[in-house]
């Protein structure tokens, strides 16, 4: 499995016209700050384990909301190409048709948290 956690991976994703359009809005940033990193990370594990980990997902490609006022993790999933098994395969070389390993889930959550933390810092610099 290709390691997901690199600044280079986030940099590559930021050059995608589609992926780079996703940013946390004020409400999402406030929510993330109020809940704290630990709880947001727990949510990320829950979402990934329920929505991406299974080998076969009936609604693959549609399981992650794109609404601008949804959960910060959902937006991070789209920004990091971790929103469906098709994107995981294309961007991260994790094949469809098999359950994600614990290591893959950990790597995905780390990438999502890196993106969320970068977004929170981006707000602070404005």
Q: Taking the domains of the chain in order of start, what are their residue ranges?
A: 7-124
C-alpha of 53 from chain center: 13
The pLDDT assigned to 8 comes to: 80
How does pLDDT run across 60-98, given as a tens digit for each residue? 777 777 776 789 999 999 999 999 999 999 999 999 999
Q: Using a pLDDT cut of 90, give the percent of the chain over it.
A: 67
CA angle centred on 116, ends 106 and 6, rounded to 5°: 55
The pLDDT assigned to 5 comes to: 58
The pLDDT assigned to 112 comes to: 96
How does pLDDT run across 104-118, given as a tens digit for each residue? 999 999 999 999 999
The pLDDT assigned to 55 comes to: 94
């Amino acid at each position: 499995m290709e390691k997901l956690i690199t600044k280079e991976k986030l940099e590559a994703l930021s050059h995608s016209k589609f992926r780079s359009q996703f940013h946390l809005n004020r409400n999402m940033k406030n929510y993330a700050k109020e809940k704290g990193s630990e709880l947001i990370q727990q949510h990320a594990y829950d979402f990934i384990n329920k929505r991406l980990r299974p080998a076969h997902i009936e609604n693959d490609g549609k399981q992650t909301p794109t609404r601008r006022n949804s959960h910060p993790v959902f937006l991070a999933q789209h920004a990091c190409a971790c929103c469906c098994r098709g994107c995981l395969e294309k961007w991260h070389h994790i094949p469809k048709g098999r359950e994600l390993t614990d290591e893959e889930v950990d790597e995905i959550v780390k990438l999502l948290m890196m993106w969320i933390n970068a977004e929170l810092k981006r707000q602070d610099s404005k």
